[in-house]
Amino acid sequence: MEKSIEAIWKEGFLNEKSLGAPKINDLYNQKSKHLVDKVQRMFRINLLIIIISAFFFPIVYYFLDALWEGLAASVLLLLTAWYNKRQMNSVKTLDQGTTSLDYLRSLDRWLKDVLLRSEKILRFSYPLYFLIAMSTIWSAWNKEGLTMKIHQKLPNLLFVGNTPLFALIIGGVTTLLVFYFSDKICQWEVRLMYGRVFDKLEATIAEMEKLKQEV
């Protein structure tokens, strides 16, 4: 019966001078390279989606008669794409170390650092996206005469400009909640997009460290 890859790796660790050591190291390198390539590919796909959305939003918002809101969302998306591109380029500066395990550890630290910085930026980006969305919705309702209908049915309702005071309060409270829970929203979004590959990275590092300790 053929040996599993894990068994071959373990045998190679136990006897680094064995004739199979170069092949074992190559197996490690191939698995590590595949994992790193997958992480980078997913980052590139995410970047492409952001850029496409940045050019698509103004068109959609134009037909919603909310061009300025669409342009604002587009600018935010392009800034996000620029930031993500810089982060992708910084992966080239990682310390590759002497083994695949060293590099994977370095990649894991880099990913956690990138996500931590992203959470700080998205703490402000998410509320802005929410405000743009609310502004678009209210602008559409206002053009349909919703403000006038509310004023006619509720003449004693307090207004600030063309907006009911209660709507501003609800919008303000919701914006603060989005700001407060932005880190949770970011973690959920990252988990949704990259959860499987991040789990694979951590599992691979744990596996390699375990085999190394058994030497």
Question: β-strands 163-164, 159-160: how paired?
Answer: antiparallel
Q: Quick one: tokens of 92?
A: 């080239």
| Residue 1: strand, helix, or coil | coil
| Measured distance CA(214)–CA(112) in Å, rounded | 27
Alpha helices in the chain (DSSP H): 5-14, 21-63, 67-90, 100-143, 146-153, 165-180, 182-213
pTM score, whole prediction: 0.71
Residue 48: predicted pLDDT:
93
Residue 18: predicted pLDDT:
43
Residue 143: predicted pLDDT:
67
- Long-range residue pairs from 143-152, CB within 8 A, at least 24 positions apart, any chain: 143/65
Give the rounded distance of the alpha carbon of 87 from its chain centre: 12
Residue 97: predicted pLDDT:
56
Angle in degrees, CA 114, 120, 124, rounded to 5 = 135
Residue 145: predicted pLDDT:
63
Going from the first residue of the chain to its last (215 residues), give the mean pLDDT of each consecutive group of 10, the final group possibly shorter: 44 44 55 76 89 90 84 91 85 65 81 85 90 82 67 71 78 91 88 84 80 62
Beta bridge pairs of residue 160 = 163
